[in-house]
């Protein structure tokens, strides 16, 4: 192992609403170690008498203190809800379009209680009549572009999807995020299943019912003009009439919601003379959920969606390089050994 591959150079923090994941990077961009805590911005342990800033500092120490004891001068870079108004320090939004260097030049920098240098990546703002925002996903998009230099150089434009509680879709061109949209598909699914009459007849299943899922996607696509509100109740009525088994209703509803999400995305792309069938979207997120989206995209004629691995790590490293926190030795972080 070379000195570059073993010398700590950066701490990266993916700090969201419910969890904190920390990465210790070597000088060559590889990942030496990781830590994961259930210490998200909205789930930090109670500390009687402590200020919010002290609570964040304590979580940072739990995650990274041992690393900093051995390498006290290593800087840290954080992305996600840690930069929100409820976070450690608020990092104002950057207005689209933006690239890695835009985020790097807008970092919010400060010192932790132990004196460590920490910077927070700003979120992204899509202005307009219906403004949109994201925090954390912008770093993952930067990471997806860093993973594929050809994608970053694409002049015709490319689509990156980030499935999740609030799914994001971003259009990138020439290494920049040009625009993005948020779809509350995941949260709506959880709400409908857990708090409406649609969930009353659902039964859990040990494995996904892909036939029911595809049926939901196809129904959404076929009934796009009728819209989501006019098709949701079919989750219940198909069950009541014996056409959809209780264990299949959850996957049908999932397909219906994702299908309507893709209907909206298809309409948005149409305004730019593009279509899902003609694109090869990159997907960033949890593997099983990305696979669900790949299946839904295939129903729209898009059979070449690809999953990007380790986008958060790559994005944190890329922004750190752009900000001068580390050298540009590597743009492709490796998994811990």
Tens digits of per-residue pLDDT, 179-191? 999 999 999 999 9
Model confidence at 3: pLDDT above 90: no
Mean pLDDT throughout 158-184?
97
In whole angstroms, give the CA distance from residue 262 to residue 269: 10
Mean pLDDT throughout 247-274?
97
Mean pLDDT throughout 159-169?
98
pLDDT for 6 equals: 84
pLDDT for 46 equals: 79
Residue 282 to residues 159, 227, 307, 308, Cα–Cα distance (Å):
7, 26, 6, 6
Q: Which letter, b or e, does each residue of 18-28 get, where b requires 16 or more Cβ atoms within 10 Å of its Cβ?
A: eebbbbbbbbb
In whole angstroms, give the CA distance from residue 89 to residue 108: 8
Q: Which letter, b or e, does each residue of 165-199 get, where b requires 16 or more Cβ atoms within 10 Å of its Cβ?
A: eebbbbbbbebbbebbbbbebbebbeebbeeeebb
Whether the ω angle into residue 71 lies within 30 degrees of 0, i.e. cis, is no
Q: Whole-model pTM? A: 0.94
In whole angstroms, give the CA distance from residue 287 to residue 309: 9
Q: CATH classification of 3-151+312-323 is 3.30.450.40, yes or no?
A: no
Q: Which ranges in the chain belong to alpha helices (H)?
A: 3-6, 52-70, 100-104, 137-147, 149-152, 185-195, 210-222, 228-231, 234-240, 249-270, 287-299, 311-323
pLDDT tens profile 305-322: 999 999 999 999 999 999
Lowest-pLDDT choice from 136-145, 151-160, 242-251: 151-160
Confidence grade of residue 50 (pLDDT, cut at 50, 70, 90): confident
Any idea which architecture 184-307 has in CATH? 2-Layer Sandwich (3.30)
Could you tell me where in the chain the CATH 3.30.420.300 domains are found?
3-151+312-323
Number of neighbouring beta carbons within 10 Å of residue 68? 20
Could you tell me where in the chain the CATH 3.30.420.310 domains are found?
184-307
Query: Which residues, other chains included, contact 335 with Cβ-Cβ below 8 Å and sequence gap of 6+?
Result: 31, 310
pLDDT tens profile 119-145: 999 999 999 999 999 999 999 999 999
pLDDT tens profile 11-20: 999 999 999 9
The token duo for 21 is 């994941």
pLDDT for 332 equals: 52
Lowest-pLDDT choice from 83-92, 141-150, 326-335: 326-335
| Mean model confidence pLDDT for the chain | 95
pLDDT for 47 equals: 77
pLDDT for 337 equals: 40
């Amino acid at each position: 192992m070379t000195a570059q591959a073993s010398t700590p150079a950066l701490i990266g923090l993916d700090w969201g609403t419910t969890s904190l994941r920390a990465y210790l990077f070597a000088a060559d961009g590889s990942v030496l170690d990781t830590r994961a805590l259930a210490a998200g911005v909205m789930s930090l342990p109670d500390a009687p008498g402590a200020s919010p800033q002290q609570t964040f500092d304590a979580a940072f120490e739990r995650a990274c203190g041992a690393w900093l004891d051995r390498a006290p001068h290593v800087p840290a870079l954080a992305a996600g809800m840690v930069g929100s108004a409820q976070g450690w320090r608020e990092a104002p939004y950057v207005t689209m379009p933006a690239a890695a260097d835009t985020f790097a030049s807008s970092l919010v920098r400060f010192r932790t209680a132990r004196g460590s240098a920490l910077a927070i990546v700003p979120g992204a703002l899509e202005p307009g009549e219906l403004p949109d925002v994201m925090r954390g996903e912008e770093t993952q998009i930067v990471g997806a572009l860093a993973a594929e230099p050809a994608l970053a150089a694409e002049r015709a434009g490319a689509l990156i999807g980030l499935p999740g509680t609030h799914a994001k879709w971003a259009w990138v061109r020439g290494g920049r995020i040009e625009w993005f949209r948020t779809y509350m598909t995941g949260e709506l699914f959880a709400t409908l299943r857990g708090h409406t009459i649609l969930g009353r007849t659902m039964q859990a299943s040990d494995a996904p019912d892909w036939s029911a899922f595809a049926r939901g996607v196809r129904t959404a696509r076929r009934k796009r003009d009728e819209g989501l509100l006019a098709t949701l109740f079919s989750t219940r009525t198909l069950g009541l009439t014996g056409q959809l088994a209780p264990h299949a209703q959850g996957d049908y509803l999932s397909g219906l919601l994702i299908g309507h999400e893709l209907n909206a995305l298809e309409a948005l792309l149409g305004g730019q003379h593009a279509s899902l069938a003609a694109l090869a979207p990159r997907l960033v997120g949890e593997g099983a959920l990305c696979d669900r989206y790949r299946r839904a995209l295939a129903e729209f004629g898009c059979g070449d969606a690809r999953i990007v691995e380790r986008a958060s790590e790559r994005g944190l490293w890329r922004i750190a390089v752009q900000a001068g926190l580390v050298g540009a030795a590597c743009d492709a972080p490796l998994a811990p050994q």
